């Protein structure tokens, strides 16, 4: 899925728990991709700190990494490590709609010279496939 916006947000055709399960399975099945740190239950953290998120019932944040791509990016331009890992958010609104959101790294790639630009575009293509798979009901 290509986007001209810096932040991608897509409505998912199933509920929050099913979205989490599907996303985790998709990443685990994707060659070289992993979760380098545990999922962050953002909504729970906010509530336990005495705050609230308006119109948000549930929100979790996932951090994804592909060590091959990450090492290529850092080896090409070490300060690019500030963009790692890739971040995805799954959230459910108060009216029971579930969304997947992430930075459009394909758009972000345009700001960098090769070889970083080329590597980020490859990652973007893979992430687009994951997003498209998240939109399928199967």
Distances (CA, A) of 131 to 9, 11, 88: 10, 11, 10
pTM of the model: 0.91
Work out the average pLDDT over 3-9: 79
Work out the average pLDDT over 60-66: 96
Express each pLDDT in 73-113 by its tens digit: 999 989 988 888 999 999 999 999 999 999 988 888 888 88
Contact predicate 33/64, CB 8 Å: yes
């Amino acid at each position: 899925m290509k986007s001209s916006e810096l932040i991608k947000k897509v409505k998912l055709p199933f509920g929050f728990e099913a979205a989490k399960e599907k996303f985790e399975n998709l990443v685990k099945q994707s060659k070289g991709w992993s979760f380098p740190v545990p999922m962050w239950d953002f909504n729970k953290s906010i509530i336990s700190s005495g705050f609230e998120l308006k119109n948000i019932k549930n929100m979790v944040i996932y951090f994804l990494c592909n060590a091959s791509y990450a090492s290529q990016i850092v080896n090409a331009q070490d300060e690019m490590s500030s963009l790692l890992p890739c971040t995805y958010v799954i959230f459910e609104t108060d009216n029971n709609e579930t969304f997947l959101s992430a930075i459009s790294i394909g758009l972000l790639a345009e700001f960098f010279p090769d070889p970083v630009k080329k590597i980020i575009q490859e990652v973007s293509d893979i992430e687009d496939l994951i997003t498209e798979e998240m939109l399928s009901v199967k």
